[in-house]
């Protein structure tokens, strides 16, 4: 019996890929025979011993367990129906297409296909693993009747211990333990309309109008395929006369670490998240979090950080000002976030996953 | 979750994101630069046959295929030229805008020095 994971794309740094690789390592450690099959194979992963192209996937045996990671529209979604073995969905959610219609017809089409295909697959799986209760509820609303378990994404935290990019760290005024002359307000997430980076820009404008202390907005994220939205964001910032916004584009992991280490506050205005790994990353780096309560965000935050539900830029700016300037509040937030972070620890989530996996499949881990 | 005192307020934002053009007023946007690069790179379309049927059809009707490929290449070239022209005009406009702002500032300084309106 083997545990096979199948997904459309495996690349460096994205949450779904990291989750898949972490599950693979975990299952191997517990004595399972594993393999990962990918539709689009990243050149850099060609030499990974467990990663192969879908075309090379041998016909699975009936007792093989297939974990299918679903996060977008792809021909693979429907091909998986025909595979004859024990199938389980690992659901990461698909962004609603409406967000993309104005900026990329291709992406909107992919998301639309993703939603329709997720619905079409409702009777395909024996069970499922969802990143959040929000994702589970969505599958239930699509007519899924199989048992669905909720467990957070498995995050390999040791990667965050690596050395950050020193140049970037220095440019941002050093680590956030320093008293920065210009405070760093960070958001990490691909440049995409559902992430609502424009609301962060509006918040910065409101902040400038309301307060005197200098702040810098750092938008870390790859604009790949979202050129129109990216250009619009830059032009919006320019029209508002905001010159202190850093659009990093695609950067190295070391540079991302440097931005996290130098951040004084992490702010999310995102309107669609199936889990939102950057929130957990910000917790890991002791960055106080201010987040708009949408989709899975309140669930990931638990009782930590400041979660608000009023999108008025002035309200967000006032919250931000309080977090940046009230040391006691910051300390309290960081303490609560550290507590919340324990829930996402590798040990806790891996134990949770193995337990759910055994319950769901009826197969005991050999080790 | 820490409690923040209830904050109310609003700030008038002078621009609406939905109304912002992807082409900036003051400087050429990244978008158009990327488009030019993309068009120039993909300017030369070469017929590609994916299987034997297409190859056979290509041999039979090669003239027509090549004719449409040439037409497409011509269109791409013209599109890239228009983008280049757009880029040049945007840069010129940006320079002129800067000069207008400089002149307006100078005029204001002169008026202030004179102690009244010119």
Q: In this complex, do B15 and A319 lie within 8 Å of one another by their Cβ atoms?
A: no
SS3 content of chain B, % helix, strand, coil (to 5): 65, 0, 35
For residue B54, tell me if it sits in a domain: yes
Mutate to test the interface with B, among A205, A210, A234, A239 (most CBs of B within 10 A): A239
Q: Do the domain assignments include residue B10?
A: no
How far, CA to CA in Å, does B78 sit from each of A313, B40, B82? 44, 10, 6
Over its length of 118 residues, how does chain B's per-residue pLDDT go in tens digits? Answer: 555 655 555 788 888 898 887 765 545 566 677 777 777 776 666 667 777 887 777 777 776 667 777 788 888 888 888 888 887 887 787 778 778 878 877 888 898 888 754 4
pLDDT value of residue A303: 94
Whether residue B109 lies inside any domain: the answer is: yes
- Give CA–CA dist A303/A108, Å, rounded: 34
pLDDT of residue B1: 52
In a domain, B13, yes or no: no
User: How many distinct structural domains can be found in chain B?
Assistant: 1
- Identical fold for domains A2-155+346-361 and A157-343, yes or no, is yes
Q: Does domain A157-343 have CATH number 3.40.50.2000?
A: yes
Residues of chain A with pLDDT under 50: none
Gap between the Cα atoms of A188 and B53, Å rounded = 49
Which residue range is the domain that position B46 belongs to? 21-114
Bridge partner residues of A127 (DSSP):
A88
Instruction: Give B26: exposed, middle or buried? Use CB within 10 Å, 0-12, 13-18, 19+.
Output: middle
> ipTM, 2 decimals?
0.83
pLDDT at residue B118, as a whole number: 43
**Considering CB atoms only, which of B1, B17, B32 is closest to A236?**
B17
CA closest to B8 among chain A residues = A315
Residues of A contacting chain B (CB within 8 angstroms): 198, 201-202, 205-206, 209-210, 227-228, 230-232, 234-236, 238-240, 301, 303-307, 312-315, 317-319, 322, 329, 332-333, 336
Task: Report yes or no on B15 lying in a domain.
Answer: no
Instruction: Indicate whether B1 belongs to any domain.
Output: no
Distances, alpha carbon A358 to alpha carbons A67, A231, A318, in Å: 13, 48, 48
How many Å lie between the alpha carbon of A198 and the closest alpha carbon of chain B? 7
What is the Cα–Cα distance from A140 to A300, expressed in whole angstroms? Answer: 20
Residue B7 within a domain: no
pLDDT at position A174: 94
Cβ contacts of A205 on chain B, cutoff 8 Å = 11, 13
Q: A2-155+346-361 is classed in which CATH architecture? A: 3-Layer(aba) Sandwich (3.40)
**Do A70 and A121 contact (CB within 8 A), yes or no?**
yes
Which DSSP state fits A33? E
What distance in Å separates the CA atoms of residue A350 and residue B57, rounded to the nearest whole number? 57
Domain coordinates in residue numbering, chain A:
2-155+346-361, 157-343
- Output the CA–CA distances (angstroms, integers) from residue A145 to A119, A133, A175, B21, in the order listed: 12, 15, 48, 46
């Amino acid at each position: 019996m083997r545990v096979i994971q199948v997904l459309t794309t495996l690349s460096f740094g994205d949450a779904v890929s990291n989750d898949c690789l972490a599950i693979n390592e975990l299952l191997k450690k517990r004595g399972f025979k594993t393999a990962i099959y990918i539709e689009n194979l990243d050149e850099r992963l060609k030499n990974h011993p467990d990663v192969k192209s879908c075309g090379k996937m041998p016909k699975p045996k009936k007792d093989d367990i297939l974990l299918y990671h679903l996060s977008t529209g792809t021909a693979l979604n429907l091909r998986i129906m025909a595979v004859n073995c024990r199938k389980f969905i690992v659901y990461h959610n698909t962004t609603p297409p409406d967000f993309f219609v104005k900026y990329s017809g291709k992406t909107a089409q992919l998301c639309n296909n993703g939603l329709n295909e997720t619905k079409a697959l409702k009777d395909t799986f024996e069970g499922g693993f969802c990143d959040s209760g929000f994702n589970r509820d969505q599958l239930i609303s699509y007519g899924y009747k199989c048992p669905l378990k909720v467990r957070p994404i498995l995050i390999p935290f040791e990667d965050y211990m690596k050395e950050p990019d020193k140049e970037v760290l220095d440019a941002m005024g050093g680590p956030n333990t320093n008293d920065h002359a210009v405070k760093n307000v960070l958001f990490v997430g691909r440049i995409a309309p559902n992430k609502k980076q424009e609301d962060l820009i509006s918040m910065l404008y409101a902040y400038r109008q309301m307060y005197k202390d200098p702040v810098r907005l750092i938008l870390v994220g790859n604009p790949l395929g979202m050129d129109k939205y990216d250009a619009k964001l830059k032009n919006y910032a320019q029209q508002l006369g905001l010159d202190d916004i850093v659009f990093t584009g695609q950067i190295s992991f070391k540079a991302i670490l440097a931005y996290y280490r130098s951040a004084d506050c992490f702010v999310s205005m995102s309107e669609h998240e199936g889990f939102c790994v950057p929130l957990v990353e910000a917790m890991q780096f002791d960055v106080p979090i201010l987040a708009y309560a949408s989709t899975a965000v309140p669930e990931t935050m638990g009782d930590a950080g400041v979660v608000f539900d009023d999108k008025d830029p002035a309200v967000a700016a006032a919250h931000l000002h309080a977090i940046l300037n009230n040391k006691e509040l910051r300390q309290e937030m960081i303490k609560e976030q550290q507590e919340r972070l324990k829930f996402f620890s590798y040990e806790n989530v891996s134990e949770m996953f193995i337990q759910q996996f055994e319950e769901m499949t009826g197969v005991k881990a050999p080790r | 979750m820490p409690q923040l005192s209830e904050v109310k307020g609003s700030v008038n934002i002078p621009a609406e994101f939905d109304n912002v053009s992807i082409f900036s007023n003051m400087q050429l946007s990244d978008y158009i630069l990327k488009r030019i690069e993309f068009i120039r790179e993909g300017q030369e379309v070469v017929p590609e046959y994916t299987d034997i049927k297409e190859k056979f059809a290509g041999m039979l009707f090669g003239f027509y295929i090549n004719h449409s490929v040439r037409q497409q290449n011509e269109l791409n070239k013209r599109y890239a030229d228009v983008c280049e022209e757009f880029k040049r005009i945007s840069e010129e406009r940006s320079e002129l805008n800067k000069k207008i702002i400089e002149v307006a500032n100078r005029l204001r300084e002169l008026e202030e020095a004179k102690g009244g309106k010119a």
